[in-house]
Amino acid sequence: MQSFLEPESPGLVRWWPLAALVVGIATVFSVFTGYPAAPAPAASSAHPTLQSRVLQSVTSLQGKLHRLPNDSTGWAQLGSSYVELARITVDPAYYAKAQGALDRSLQLKPQDNALALLGMGALANSRHDFGAARDWGIRALAVAPTSAEVHGVLADAYTQLGDDQAATDAVQKMLDLKPNVASFTRASYYFETHGRIDEARMALERALQAAGAPDEIAFCRYYLGELAFNAGRLDEADSQYSRGLELVQDQTLLQGKAKVAAARGDIDRALDGYRTLVTRAPLPQYIQEYGELLDAAGRPAEAAAQYEILAQQHKLMAAQGATDDLSTALMLADHGDKAEALSRAEAEWGRRQNVLVADAMAWALHVNGRDAEALPYMDKAAAFGWDNALFAYHRGMIHSSLGQLAEAEKYLSRALEINPNFSVLHAPLAKKRLAELRVVR
């Protein structure tokens, strides 16, 4: 079988024949499906139908385990369902329930318990304990080497740990074993982070062809919309989000619509959208975006309240064993204690050294006035060729602080070329600084 991911030449990928791709595609949407990267909202499909289905599954499993308390498979299934509920509801209390159920399964069946090992890997990924997720995934792989879901857990863990070759191999193995929505969306993320945007879009289109259930189709529409939005194509992004919403009232799609409204200057509509979002699905990303939009609208007191909610939420997540120093570092760098931002970024870099953490390290060093130290981290962030507007903006501002005006102009221009609406906070600052640089030069 040819490699799906390996480029034959720049910009060209060895695509499988379409007939080979569609054979045997499953329609079940795995709890492990989704983008493994932070700080994007990985794979939250927080709409009522999905939540209701998972809750029904939990109730059914609880009843079964009441009758059969020594059913190791039932305990593993219950644990995985709790992981899914934590993802959907953003309630970290489900992590402890998942841990307890999975521990019970492994107590009952300590050997060859692939389902519990898989659940442990997924739980560790959800808690951002990616080293543990890798270790659980390796143990699961020894028991179930042909499980696409196990390779998915490993792909997510290796991606976050910055082990690019291992992540590539895991995604390729997923595609070999089960070319479905879960594997194609991971392939799309791989392509995007390696600067191969056309191939990322093609992989998502393959995922869309593989999708069966409305949840899956809406999921693919969201990420097609994200690719379009990140490239500054607002009409295409809006269309993809709208087509997804025709099927399910998914919060990620509503976030996309609110984001497009903000980019178009319809601030009142955007604020209404985000206000609804943070009430229904208080994901950290939504809270931060809402706060920044309030700032942009000239409502700093309300924005500060959102940042305080975000800080408290991070504390609650940490109390449940879910550490996310990456997003905390970026939030503090822009809205809080700069020294603490750097401390958090350094802690995260000590655990995992991927391109997102490299960018966060660079930005935290910059806001602390340590720009010469920041540049090598920006080099690390650019290692795979990801044409990321926020990365380009961060690099441009670092060069500007160092007095390297030509480089600053180059990267700030590139950020706005990629996506002139990449951030309601930073895009206006990029435009302002770029205008100043052009006057100087």
CA–CA separation, 158 vs 387, rounded Å? 21
The pLDDT of residue 220 is above 80: yes
| Average pLDDT value for residue range 78-95 | 89
Max CA distance (Å), the chain: 77
Q: What local confidence, expressed as pLDDT, does residue 280 receive? A: 86
Is the model more confident about 20 or about 148?
148
Q: What local confidence, expressed as pLDDT, does residue 320 receive? A: 75
Q: What local confidence, expressed as pLDDT, does residue 47 receive? A: 53
DSSP structure class, residue 437: H
CA–CA separation, 1 vs 13, rounded Å? 14
Can you name the CATH fold of 24-212? 1.25.40
| Average pLDDT value for residue range 116-132 | 96
Distances (CA, A) of 378 to 14, 164, 328, 366: 30, 17, 19, 11
Q: How many degrees, rounded to 5, is the angle at CA 155 between CA 153 and CA 157?
A: 70
CA–CA separation, 290 vs 124, rounded Å? 28
- Please state the domain extents for the chain: 24-212
Which position has the token pair 């492990």? 32
pLDDT band, very low/low/confident/very high, at 67 (cuts 50, 70, 90) = very high
| Mean pLDDT of the chain, nearest integer | 88
DSSP structure class, residue 366: H
pLDDT band, very low/low/confident/very high, at 203 (cuts 50, 70, 90) = very high
Q: What is the DSSP string of 24-62?
A: T------TT-S---TTTTTT----HHHHHHHHHHHHHHH
Q: What is the DSSP string of 230-263?
A: HTT-HHHHHHHHHHHHTT---HHHHHHHHHHHHH
The pLDDT of residue 146 is above 80: yes
Contact in structure between 380 and 391 (CB atoms under 8 Å): no
Q: What local confidence, expressed as pLDDT, does residue 339 receive? A: 97
pLDDT band, very low/low/confident/very high, at 28 (cuts 50, 70, 90) = very low
| Average pLDDT value for residue range 341-359 | 96
| Average pLDDT value for residue range 316-343 | 88
Other Cβ atoms closer than 10 A to 344 = 25
pLDDT band, very low/low/confident/very high, at 6 (cuts 50, 70, 90) = low
CA–CA separation, 82 vs 186, rounded Å? 23
Q: What local confidence, expressed as pLDDT, does residue 218 receive? A: 94
Residues 6+ apart with CB under 8 A from 25: 178, 179, 180, 210, 212
pLDDT band, very low/low/confident/very high, at 3 (cuts 50, 70, 90) = low
Tokens representing residue 115 in the block: 């389902």
Q: What local confidence, expressed as pLDDT, does residue 103 receive? A: 98
Q: 353-381: b or e for each residue (b if 16 or more CB lie within 10 Å)?
A: bbbbbbbbbbbbbbbbeebeebbebbebb
